């Protein structure tokens, strides 16, 4: 059950990269922190509690150690990629169930960076060390891998993913290839986009991407910008620059879009979430450095569901924080 909101941010219009004193346009409410696995799966019977007290929690209930990215499936389950635990946490809040996916025996996940779900709720996991995309069914059973060992489909450091469920396309950033790769869900390579550089359509250590309103937005991390490309790989725009002021980018990590098309960019140095419109104009930001609710320590991934519930992987605080975006009546 969602606990009562603790606080919220009133979000003001931004002018020239600074928040102005106009009437509030929207608000982001802090909702909750995802509870520890032990709390989520804690036993109700006396004997079960006694066993857990004496022997410790079962090994299939690993705590969150270094969450990096989140997503949700069609049933509302929350999936958390945790390279610190070498696996994927799956929370089913409605059924109050928990599952941990670590991969097939002998080929377990090493560094799961991102997680995505297709329309059948099959689970896709990018492993940056294994240099593969692992695919599991909705119950966590291993199905196949995506990514070749040679040629154009060879992966070097796969990281962020965006899945177009309708077109059955998987968009992937390969950080060390400095490219975006497009795969069919059968594993076939459809397209390779970009090369290393700082020009339009070129990338320098891209880390994440998201789909919104028919466009692909790529976190071009070491060019300190967000690039927009079409599904066909054509350059469609860019915004952002290196800086230490609100509206600039320093260490951009994750990106997601809300139902209005606003882009939420997680910055691991600023330890905030900055929100831009599709033209790159800063709308507002939320968060600060710390360990309290609504504060972050090296946040990395972000995802937003179709109800505008925001999930932020708060990496060094070993937690996922949940927020809600609400547009206010004008």
Provide the Cα torsion 209, 166, 306, 122; round to 10°: -80
What is the Cα gyration radius of the chain?
A: 20
Phi first, then psi: give them for residue 40, nearest 5 degrees.
-65, -35
Count CB neighbours of 11 within 10 A: 21
| pLDDT tens, residue by residue, 139-152 | 999 999 999 878 89
Model pLDDT, residue 26: 75
Spatial contact of 135 and 141, defined as CB atoms under 8 Å apart: no
pLDDT of residue 85: 97
Note the helical H segments in the chain. 37-40, 46-55
* pTM of the model as a whole: 0.88
pLDDT at 72: 96
Separation of alpha carbons 254 and 321, rounded Å: 14
Provide the pLDDT for residue 19. Answer: 39
Which contacts (CB < 8 Å, 24+ apart) does range 44-52 have? none
Instruction: Enumerate helices (H) and strands (E) in the chain, giving the number of each.
Output: 2, 29
What pLDDT is attached to residue 20? 38
Residue 36 pLDDT: 74
Stretches in the chain below the pLDDT threshold 50: 1-6, 12-23, 48, 51, 55, 330
What's residue 79's pLDDT? Answer: 98
Query: So what's the pLDDT on residue 9?
Result: 54
Q: How far apart are CA 31 and CA 93, in angstroms?
A: 15
Is the separation of the CB atoms in 297 and 288 below 8 Å?
A: no
Distance CA 262, CA 253 (A): 16
């Amino acid at each position: 059950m969602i606990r009562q909101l603790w606080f919220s941010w009133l979000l003001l219009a931004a002018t020239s990269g600074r928040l102005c004193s106009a009437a509030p346009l929207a608000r982001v409410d802090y909702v909750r922190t995802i509870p520890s696995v032990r709390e989520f799966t804690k036993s109700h019977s006396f004997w079960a509690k006694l066993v857990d007290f004496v022997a410790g929690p079962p090994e299939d209930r690993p705590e969150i150690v270094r969450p990096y990215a989140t997503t949700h499936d069609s049933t509302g389950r929350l999936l958390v990629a945790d390279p610190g635990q070498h696996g994927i946490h799956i929370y089913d809040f409605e059924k109050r169930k928990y599952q941990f996916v670590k991969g097939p025996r002998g080929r377990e996940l090493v560094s799961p960076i991102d997680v995505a779900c297709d329309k059948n709720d099959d689970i896709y996991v990018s492993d940056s060390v294994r240099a593969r995309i692992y695919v599991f069914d909705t119950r966590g059973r291993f199905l196949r891998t995506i990514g070749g060992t040679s040629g154009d489909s060879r992966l070097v450091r796969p990281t962020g993913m965006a899945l177009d469920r309708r077109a059955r396309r998987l968009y992937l950033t390969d950080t060390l290839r400095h490219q975006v790769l497009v795969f069919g869900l059968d594993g076939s390579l459809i397209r390779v986009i970009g090369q290393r550089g700082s020009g339009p359509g070129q990338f320098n250590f891209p880390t994440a991407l998201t789909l919104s309103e028919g466009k692909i937005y790529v976190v071009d991390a070491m060019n300190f910008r967000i690039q927009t490309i079409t599904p066909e790989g054509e350059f469609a725009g860019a915004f952002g620059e290196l800086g230490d002021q609100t509206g600039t980018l320093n260490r951009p990590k994750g990106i997601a879009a809300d139902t209005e098309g606003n882009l939420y960019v997680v910055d691991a140095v600023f330890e905030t979430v900055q929100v831009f419109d599709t033209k790159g104009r800063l709308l507002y930001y939320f968060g600060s450095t710390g360990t309290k609710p609504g504060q972050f320590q090296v946040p990395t991934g972000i995802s937003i569901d179709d109800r505008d519930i925001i999930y932020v992987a708060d990496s060094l605080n070993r937690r996922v924080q949940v927020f809600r975006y609400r547009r206010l009546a004008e």
